[in-house]
Amino acid sequence: MKVAVVGATGLVGTKMLQILEERNFPVAELIPVASEKSAGKEIVFKGKKYKVVTAQTAIDMKPAVALFSAGGGTSLEWAPKFAAAGITVIDNSSAWRMDPTKKLIVPEINADALTAEDKIIANPNCSTIQLVVALNPLHKKYKIKRIVVSTYQSVTGTGKKAVDQLMNERNGIKGEMAYAYQIDMNAIPHIDVFLENGYTKEEMKMVNETKKIMRDDTIQLTATTVRIPVMGGHSESVNVEFENEFDLTELRKILENAEGVTVIDDVKNLQYPMPLIHAHEKDDVFVGRIRRDETQAKTLNMWVVSDNLRKGAATNAIQIAEYLVKKKML
């Protein structure tokens, strides 16, 4: 199978190449794609060198699937051109997520919605993916009424420029700024642009994408998203109110048996999920600090951690491709 990776030289694109190799995805020929200024560079995949090509060259090479991680503008321009050539696009940008004609997929939850006719498939926002993987099995059992989520998001979610800013600040070096403020030893309650309602685009992505993925518009969600000087993954403090009463032991068992979830929750021995210690370079979503909200009935608090470059981006996209292969849609 010919596989194109669009945005192959970026943080997520590089991670996609790593995970394609790790998971032994059936790549007969890799087509790494980047901007014209990167064309001609070489990328090593499974010990073999491949030249970076432009998007049009990639279309002419007729891959079966194209994994996009090159930003919304690139996706809006090029995903339809790939799709028109019969190539299945799995897009990691926000370009198509809320398009009513496009599927927004987390394989553990709603891969069954996919058909062979879906030529542009949207990969959700990183902070949304880890939230819904943890919450969907509980929604099935107890029905979610309302979610209050605060995020603690890694600089890797912004990209290489932000990682460089953090490291420069840590080492006392002046350099290019990805953020309006210093990020080292700081917390910035601002991810993406502010909207007229006072929320950021990132916060509203979580609201809208959660409803679409979980196929339930009745779920009420409010979010505050915060960038912190952390590597290894995003963390979320989640308060969730259910329609139905729950037994904490049963609820914990549901999470322990949920696909893609690992429970780390033993506070007596100081065991709880952390991005660098547990999530970094792992594909699962880690859940801990599971406890009742003692101020309100039928309400739970928990802590959710996941590697935003892997399950939050690259791994989820590749899992979608794996599902398509398994169902003979690729």
Catalytic residues: 126, 234
Residue carrying the six token digits 């080492």: 171
Cβ neighbors of 115 (< 8 A, separation 6 or more) are: 329
Q: How far apart are CA 280 and CA 5, in angstroms?
A: 22
141 and 247 Cβ atoms separated by less than 8 Å? no
In angstroms, what CA-CA distances link 295 with 46, 139, 148, 221, 283? Answer: 54, 21, 14, 18, 34
The size of the chain, in residues, is 330
* DSSP structure class, residue 194: B
Nearest partner of 263 among 173, 159, 137, 174, judged by Cα: 137
User: What single letter denotes the amino acid at residue 198?
Assistant: G
Cβ neighbors of 93 (< 8 A, separation 6 or more) are: 68, 69, 70, 71, 72, 74, 75
Q: How do 120-122 and 103-104 pair as beta strands?
A: parallel
Nearest partner of 105 among 132, 123, 125, judged by Cα: 123
Token pair of 272, please?
């709880």
Q: How far apart are CA 262 and CA 260, in angstroms?
A: 7
Q: How far apart are CA 295 and CA 169, in angstroms?
A: 41
